[in-house]
């Protein structure tokens, strides 16, 4: 059974999914790799969804920089490794795909890292928007580059101008 709920946010409607104990998805309406709803989906109000909504509201109000939620993203071992590393990128900072590849122990895996990053099923909470091209360009984001830019500017507006925040690791 997959439980779900739609919530509103400053970047549009977000679809939350859970397995009853952990968040399994946070998807932006219209994003690439949006999940297909099947008969085993049930719209419910879980305490977990209330927690997620509270923490997202705090994040968007500049009152939260890290999320504290039970997560169970589904993917390959490599994808899960990349997603775990994404949670270590500090709020308001960015790193390059190549840097993230080095962190996996495979410095030549930039494309694989980019693919795993794009398939992140728990956007915002697992901050895939903080990964950028080595040139500093905002490339590739399943939710759209405009949302990626919005999220980075949102985070940087609390810390410093985005031009200074686009530091490459």
CA 10/CA 12 separation, integer angstroms = 6
Contacts made by residues 149-157, CB under 8 angstroms, sequence distance 24+: 150/10, 150/11, 151/11, 151/124, 151/127, 152/94, 154/10, 154/60, 154/62, 155/65, 155/91, 155/92, 155/130, 156/92, 157/62
CB atoms within 10 A of CB 59: 21
The verdict on whether 128 is a catalytic residue reads yes
Residue from 14, 126, 128, 156 carrying the catalytic annotation: 128
Closest C-alpha among 76, 168, 152, 169 to residue 115:
76
Residues acting as catalytic residues: 128
């Amino acid at each position: 059974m997959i439980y779900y709920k739609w919530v509103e946010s400053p970047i549009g409607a977000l679809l939350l999914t859970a397995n009853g104990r952990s968040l399994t998805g946070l998807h932006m309406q219209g994003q690439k790799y949006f999940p297909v709803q099947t008969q085993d989906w049930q719209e419910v109000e879980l305490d977990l969804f209330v927690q997620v909504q509270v923490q997202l509201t705090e994040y968007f109000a500049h009152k939260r920089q890290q999320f504290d939620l039970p997560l169970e993203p589904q993917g390959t071992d490599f994808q899960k490794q990349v997603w775990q590393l994404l949670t270590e990128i500090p709020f308001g900072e960015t790193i390059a795909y190549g840097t993230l590849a080095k962190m996996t122990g495979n410095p030549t895996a930039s494309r694989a890292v980019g693919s795993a990053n794009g398939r992140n099923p728990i956007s915002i909470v697992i901050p895939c928007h903080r990964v950028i091209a080595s040139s500093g360009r905002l490339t590739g984001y399943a939710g759209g580059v405009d949302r990626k830019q919005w999220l980075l500017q949102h985070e940087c507006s609390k810390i410093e101008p985005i031009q200074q925040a686009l530091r490459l690791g």
